[in-house]
């Protein structure tokens, strides 16, 4: 099975404070560590497992700057055979990313039975790249995929997560695109040595402007803002012992302890 998997490198603000720059239109990324988008590491693991079981190869594609090569090295270390970087700076619009991806697949003549993406990226949370790409390519797609249950000749049976702990089982024809939800598998550990070895495998770099030209922006980011403050929590003060005693007192007062 030939599998294409898209991976994105994202800044992480899990433990860092996030700050909007003075222009109001950019986020200060100077202090943020970067990593592979969480959803994409699950998609990547799923791609690698499929080719390990069924033969064929996985090809990883990233769209971004030179630094994003880091996630391609990781993808190769995890088991992808080829890597492509589409170099493009101005990238907020999901439809533009999807158009670049379609153009790369067509111009490079990349063969595929299956395309995998993560459900969404941690930074912009658009949750739309995969579906748009499938629509552009006129292939069936499914998002929120939590299991690939069966691989048959020409089709798959997959489960999609819906709300309230329910899933739906669907049949989907190949070639198709699946957007993968976290928790579908346990992504394998990759060592620094593995990533170093992977850097010996060539990753092809393609300029975005050679893929699509004359793209006109359709949506514009006007400004970033912080969330509206609500009343919020009463923060318990004191040394930690006092705070914890107060916490236990509240639990008793609420009648649960």
Partner 1 sequence: MSYNLCFAEVREGRFEERNLDVLGLSRLLGDQTFLLLPKTCGGVQGAERVIEVDLKEEDFLSPLCLVTVIEEVKKRHGDPTFLLFPHSSFGMDAAPYISGYFGLPLLTDLSSQSEGLFLKSFFSEKVFGGFRFICPPPFVLTVRSGAFKRFAKEEGTPEREEMKVEIGEEKRGFLGYVIEESQDVDIAKADFLLSIGRGVGTLEEIPRYELLAQKLKATLCASRPVIDKMWLPKSRQVGISGKTVKPKVYLAMGISGSFQHIQGMKDAECIIAVNRDPNAPIFQYSHFGVLEDMHRVRDILLELLGGE
Residues 223-242 contacting partner 1, CB under 8 A: 223-227, 229-230, 232-236, 240-241
64 binds partner 1 (CB under 8 A): no
Per CB under 8 A, the list member of 171, 196, 197, 209 interacting with partner 1 is 171
- Nearest CA among 238, 208, 179 for reference residue 42: 179
- Nearest CA among 174, 59, 156 for reference residue 113: 174
Query: What is the rounded distance in angstroms from the CA atom of residue 175 to the CA atom of residue 114?
Result: 5
Per CB under 8 A, the list member of 73, 82, 159, 203 interacting with partner 1 is 159
Per CB under 8 A, the list member of 90, 163, 192, 202 interacting with partner 1 is 163
For the chain, the maximum distance between any two Cα atoms, rounded to a whole number of angstroms, is 67
The residue behind tokens 């990324």 is 29
Cβ burial of 50 (10 Å; 0-12, 13-18, 19+) is: buried
Stretch that binds partner 1, among 71-79, 82-90, 153-161, 191-199 (CB under 8 A): 153-161
130 or 208: CB nearest partner 1:
130
Q: Name the strand (E) or helix (H) holding 210.
A: helix 208-211
Tokens of 61: 């594609």
Site string for partner 1, 18-57 (x = CB under 8 A): x-x------x------------------------------
Per CB under 8 A, the list member of 90, 166, 191, 202 interacting with partner 1 is 166
The residue behind tokens 């693991």 is 45
What is the footprint of partner 1 within residues 114-133 (CB under 8 A)?
A: 119-120, 122-133
Site string for partner 1, 65-104 (x = CB under 8 A): ----------------------------xxx--x------
Smallest distance from partner 1 to CB 217, Å: 6
- Nearest CA among 134, 105, 131, 136 for reference residue 120: 131
DSSP 8-state symbol, 227: P
């Amino acid at each position: 099975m030939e599998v294409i998997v898209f991976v994105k490198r994202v800044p992480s603000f899990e433990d860092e404070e996030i700050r909007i720059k003075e222009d109001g239109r950019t986020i200060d990324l100077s202090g943020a560590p970067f990593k592979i988008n969480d959803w994409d590491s699950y998609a990547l693991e799923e791609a690698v497992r499929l080719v390990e079981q069924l033969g064929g190869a996985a090809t990883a594609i990233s769209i971004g700057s030179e630094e994003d090569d880091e996630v391609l090295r990781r993808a190769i270390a995890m088991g992808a055979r080829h890597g492509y970087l589409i170099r493009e700076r101005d990238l907020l619009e999901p439809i533009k990313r999807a158009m670049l991806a379609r153009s790369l697949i067509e111009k490079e003549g990349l063969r595929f039975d299956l395309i995998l993406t993560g459900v969404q990226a941690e930074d912009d949370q658009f949750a739309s790249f995969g579906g748009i790409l499938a629509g552009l390519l006129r292939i069936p797609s499914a998002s929120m995929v939590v299991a690939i249950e069966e691989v048959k000749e020409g089709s798959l049976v997959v489960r999609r997560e819906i709300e309230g702990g329910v899933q739906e089982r669907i049949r989907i024809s190949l070639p198709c695109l699946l957007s993968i939800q976290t928790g579908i598998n346990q992504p394998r550990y990759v060592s620094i040595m593995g990533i170093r070895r992977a850097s010996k495998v060539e990753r092809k770099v393609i300029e975005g402007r050679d893929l699509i030209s004359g793209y006109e922006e359709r949506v514009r980011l006007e400004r970033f803002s912080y969330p509206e403050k609500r009343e919020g929590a009463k923060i318990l003060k004191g040394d930690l012992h006092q705070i914890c005693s107060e916490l236990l007192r509240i639990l008793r007062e609420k009648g649960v302890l």
